[in-house]
Amino acid sequence: MHILVTGGAGFIGSHVVDRLVAAGDTVRILDALLPAVHRIRPEVNDAAELTVADVTDRSQVEAALDGVDAVCHQAAMVGLGADLDDLPAYATHNDLGTAVLLAAMAGRGVRRLVLASSMVVYGEGGYRCPVDGPVCPGLRLPADLDAGRFEPPCPCCGRPLESTLVTEDAPLDPRSVYAATKVAQEHLAAAWAAVTGGSVLALRYHNVYGPRMPRDTPYAGVASIFRSALERGEPPRVFEDGGQLRDFVHVHDVAQANLHALRYPGAPGELIPLNIGSGEPHTVGDMASVLAQAFGGPMPVVTGSYRAGDVRHVVASSARARDFFEYQPRVAFSDGVNAFACDPLRS
């Protein structure tokens, strides 16, 4: 196949490119190489063709689509987007960029898209109340967070809740600027599919970590933030009580999921969302502790502080991806985190 990978010089995109090249595909990369992401020019796979351009540039996108069979859309501005001054930049890079890409694909007759979505579209993950059954808790109140009450209560009876696996049919509840733009990307892609008869697989990544994670930028994930602290000789600082459950999935498994998704025929005229996780729930405190132990310390400090827009628990069920194209994560948490402790971070 001849595949265009937007954002193919980035953390996840570069691993996707490597996997596609190894599988014998012809790969073209479209990446703006934004300084906020790449402080130095990144190395890309020599077998891939690199076009340095922004996905909002219609003429460049159209040229990059020449001869392409499918698009793997990884380009995005990531992070919470807690500062509303950044809202126009998020909407431009994520939503306008996606709209330009989809319009160009329609004009060029490219009908297969794999979209990098995110677990942030769910807001909080799945929860069950012992009395009221499955529930969707509302926003956590600042007064509760200030008092160290981090677990969301049942919205019906106020009882403590049990975290459960979130599935793709859960309601979308974006709670940050970034999350809102990822929901908009899915909606735009679904509208494109309905009009063109194209197919879209929206891969809702959970907490991706591994080699080439960016460091010391707004694009740095929690694992990278902890690693940077350890390199400076500082303890990782863990928000809340460290008990936030996440699904940390290794980037090699995510890249393999993209390879499978690009080969899956999809459903003409539809967008199919698929969770891409590890199947191993771990707390943020677990990630900090295992990294610190592998790095040789210092051990984490639990701060009790919190960030507006953070959710308490979100853990994936990846059963649908397994059923669709036999997605099977292979990198165990302990193996991946121990290796990551020794990997060089990307500047």
Higher pLDDT residue, 220 or 179? 179
Q: Give a yes or no: residue 137 inside a domain.
A: no
Contact, 176 vs 182, CB < 8 A?
no
- The model's pLDDT over 228-241, given as tens digits with 9 standing for 90+, comes to 999 999 999 999 99
Per-residue pLDDT at 307: 87
Mean pLDDT of 257-263: 97
Instruction: Report the candidate in 213, 255, 170 with the shortest Cα–Cα distance to residue 340.
Output: 213
pLDDT score at 7: 97
The per-residue pLDDT for 82 is 55
Any domain includes 132: no
- Strand (E) or helix (H) holding 337: helix 333-342
Q: Give one word for 130, left, alpha or beta, with left for phi > 0 and alpha for psi -120 to 50.
A: alpha
Q: With cut-offs at 50, 70 and 90, classify the pLDDT of residue 105.
A: very high
Q: What mean pLDDT is predicted for residues 96-118?
A: 98
Q: What is the pLDDT of residue 218?
A: 61
Torsion (CA) 81, 83, 86, 88 in degrees, nearest 10: 90
| pLDDT for the residue 343 | 76
Q: Which of 241, 227, 214 is nearest to 293 (CA)?
A: 227
For the residues 164-190, what does the mean pLDDT come to?
95
Q: How far apart are CA 135 and CA 156, in angstroms?
A: 8
Contacts of 197 (CB under 8 A, 6+ apart): 111, 268, 269
Residue 172: name the closest of 314, 47, 284, 277 by CA: 314
Are 205 and 249 a contacting pair, CB within 8 Å?
A: yes
CA distance 142 to 126: 21
Task: Residue 193: give its domain's CATH number.
Answer: 3.40.50.720
**Rg of the chain, C-alpha, whole Å:** 20
Domain-located, residue 145: no
β-partners of residue 166 are 316
81-95, 172-186, 296-310, range with the lowest pLDDT: 81-95
Give the pLDDT band of residue 186 (cuts 50, 70, 90): very high
Residue 227 resides in a domain: yes
Mean pLDDT of 204-223: 86
Residue-wise pLDDT tens digits, 262-289: 999 889 999 999 999 998 999 999 999 9
Number of domains composing the chain: 1
> pLDDT digits over 118-158, tens only?
999 999 999 999 999 999 999 999 999 999 999 999 999 99
Q: What is the pLDDT of residue 338?
A: 94
159 within a domain of the structure (yes/no): no
pTM: 0.95
* Active-site amino acid positions: 178
| Cβ atoms of residues 54 and 33 within 8 Å | no
CA distance 138 to 230: 35
Domain that holds residue 225: 2-125+166-341
| Coil, strand or helix at 240 | coil
Residue 161 placed within a domain? no
pLDDT surpasses 80 at 246: yes
Let me know: does 190 contact 271? Beta carbons within 8 Å: yes
Is residue 27 a part of any domain in this protein?
yes
Q: What is the mean pLDDT of the chain?
A: 93
Give the pLDDT of residue 80. Answer: 62
**C-alpha torsion sign, points 215, 216, 222, 228:** positive
Q: Alpha carbon 192 to chain centroid distance? A: 22
For residues 52 and 33, is the Cβ–Cβ distance under 8 A?
A: yes
For residue 311, being part of any structural domain is answered with yes
From residue 289, alpha-carbon distances to 219, 302, 307 in Å are 22, 11, 20
> What secondary structure does DSSP assign to 193-223, as a single string?
HHHH--EEEEEEE-EEE-TT-B-SSTT--HH
Q: Which long-range contacts (CB under 8 A, 24 or more apart) does 96-100 make?
A: 96/56, 97/6, 97/54, 97/55, 97/56, 98/55, 98/73, 98/184, 98/185, 98/188, 98/189, 99/188, 100/55, 100/56, 100/57, 100/58, 100/61
Above 90 in pLDDT, residue 260?
yes
Query: Considering the chain, what percentage of its residues have pLDDT values greater than 70?
Result: 97
Question: What is the rounded average pLDDT of the residues 7-14?
Answer: 96
**CA nearest 138: which of 122, 124, 119?**
124
